[in-house]
Structure 1
């Protein structure tokens, strides 16, 4: 059985090299293997040997560049860095590998994708269907020193608990303060007496965070409560954060829903690394 690893999607783009550098730091602090994965098939095409040869050569070049970036970024000579070229279409390959992974790390935009700052197609597909946490990296160089707090969105849902667990783990690993934000605006509690609504929501935040504080006593936690939708406040804190952590869907989600509105919006515009806490089948 292959040990769980951090998987990085590599395509030669600047964004994917940022993902490699971020993932190398994660692998180093966790002591986990790092797998650089490049794909040589474009949307399942089987058009002629010349195209197949060129796609494979491009994948090999991307892997070579990624290996160089990972080794340069590593502060531990003993880190286990592996490289693979898959002949499967990229989204399918990364989603398949996510079943046993610690996390999948991707650049927000891939090579040749002119998305006006929005997320690339491969990153979007993997973020929606992966079976482990997914990290989307953009602007890694801005926070490469690892400073700043970890910020997590809290709403009291089971998916929010997954995000909290991951956020506490990241804060502990990186010796960072954790800011737990609970923003609510999706429930009509206007008929309740004045002050009761905020008291209820404060209880949601404190209850959500409480158990994790006991499990991670080394983590300094600041709680923040606002009556508003969460995206604007998470983005405001992202300017100084080393990462934002959210669940794949919130308390308004439903079974079968791939991403909630908050995580879907943040995927496109977060100026720092975004970690989406999807269900994890690894350790």
Structure 2
């Protein structure tokens, strides 16, 4: 496997955690790592060099160079031997990383950056990229686990095919088991239409159908990834709460950007948004092709 993993940095603890995760991803994938900082100050026409009254190395540009160099060094420490490049791009962070995603196989960001408000669970950059990025987006919290399964949120939609492929790939690269988890209620499950009428179903039929949905969604990928240990679960309960609880013991949670319950044209569904805000592990959001 080859390509490029991109990580956005801003000097925050969250972005340095993202650098570590991105370096690991690059090593596992045999990919290059590109460390990117979006430098907004030139567009605001402010002085970039040191103040005449301050230290000679105290300018904005020098500070940016330092934080990027720190990120590059952190990446090389975590994954020695990977190809690490870096860029300081003049522009707004959201637009910069969205552009980077067009040629990357994965973009990694921290859950919150330097511009986050106190108490905000996830920053606008992470949410925006999850909705608009052209490749999978991995949102990292400060202390990701190194054990536990990769959990895939399964809903049976055609749009989730790309998320399923990503989850199997991640499990294979990490040597981790994969759990295909589907949460359903009588409100979000497709209704059967037996002879008794559109709202009639024999006891246990709906649960059986939902279990079959999970198995069918993963069947082809199981053949392609025979070394990945797969467990399927169909749980009766609310989707968001079920996935959030499962994320407590996961090393990674993978969800599609939007599933079968999403409104047409909606770029990021309520479930994926809830995972970005409340999951207890890193979250990968994968848009359908």
TM-score (norm 2): 0.88
After superposition, what is the alpha-carbon deviation per residue over 1:215-234, rounded to whole angstroms, capped at 9, x for unaligned? 10000001111122222122
> CA separation in 2, counterparts of 1:220 and 1:28?
22
1:163 aligns with 2:163: yes
Partner of 1:277: 286
Q: Tell me if structure 2 keeps the 8 A contact 1:40–1:55.
A: no
1:126 aligns with 2:116: no
Q: Secondary structure at 2:47's aligned position in 1?
A: helix
Which sits farther off after the overlay, 257-266 or 195-204?
A: 195-204
Partner of 1:101: 104
Give the CA deviation at 1:188.
6.6
Q: Secondary structure at 1:39's aligned position in 2?
A: strand
> CA separation in 2, counterparts of 1:38 and 1:52?
20
After superposition, what is the alpha-carbon deviation per residue over 1:20-41, rounded to whole angstroms, capped at 9, x for unaligned? 0011111101100000000111
Sort the Cα spacing of 1:121 and 1:83 in 2 relative to 1 into closer, same or farther, 3 A: same
Give 1:246's match in structure 2, choosing from 252, 255, 262: 255
Sort the Cα spacing of 1:242 and 1:30 in 2 relative to 1 into closer, same or farther, 3 A: same
Q: CA RMSD in A?
A: 2.0
Larger radius of gyration: 2
Q: Tell me if structure 2 keeps the 8 A contact 1:133–1:279.
A: no
Partner of 2:44: 46
Give the CA deviation at 1:148.
1.1
Give the CA deviation at 1:171.
0.5
Give the CA deviation at 1:125.
1.5
TM-score (norm 1): 0.90
Alignment of 1:28-47 (within 5 A): 28-41=27-40, 45-47=43-45
Q: Secondary structure at 1:49's aligned position in 2?
A: coil
After superposition, what is the alpha-carbon deviation per residue over 1:244-264, rounded to whole angstroms, capped at 9, x for unaligned? 000000101234211111100
1:89 aligns with 2:92: yes
> CA separation in 1, counterparts of 2:140 and 2:275?
12
1:182 aligns with 2:182: yes
> CA separation in 2, counterparts of 1:158 and 1:89?
33
| Structure 1, gaps ≥5 residues long | none
Sort the Cα spacing of 1:40 and 1:106 in 2 relative to 1 into closer, same or farther, 3 A: same
Give the CA deviation at 1:18.
0.2
1:237 aligns with 2:243: no
> CA separation in 1, counterparts of 2:147 and 2:116?
30
After superposition, what is the alpha-carbon deviation per residue over 1:42-89, rounded to whole angstroms, capped at 9, x for unaligned? 5x8423335999543332222011011111111x42x11101100011
Give the CA deviation at 1:214.
0.4
Partner of 1:56: 61
| Structure 2, gaps ≥5 residues long | 52-58, 192-198
Which sits farther off after the overlay, 32-41 or 269-278?
A: 269-278
Q: Tell me if structure 2 keeps the 8 A contact 1:12–1:61.
A: no
Q: Tell me if structure 2 keeps the 8 A contact 1:40–1:52.
A: no
Q: Secondary structure at 1:19's aligned position in 2?
A: helix
Q: Tell me if structure 2 keeps the 8 A contact 1:33–1:81.
A: yes
Sort the Cα spacing of 1:109 and 1:261 in 2 relative to 1 into closer, same or farther, 3 A: same
Sort the Cα spacing of 1:49 and 1:195 in 2 relative to 1 into closer, same or farther, 3 A: same
Q: Tell me if structure 2 keeps the 8 A contact 1:165–1:212.
A: yes
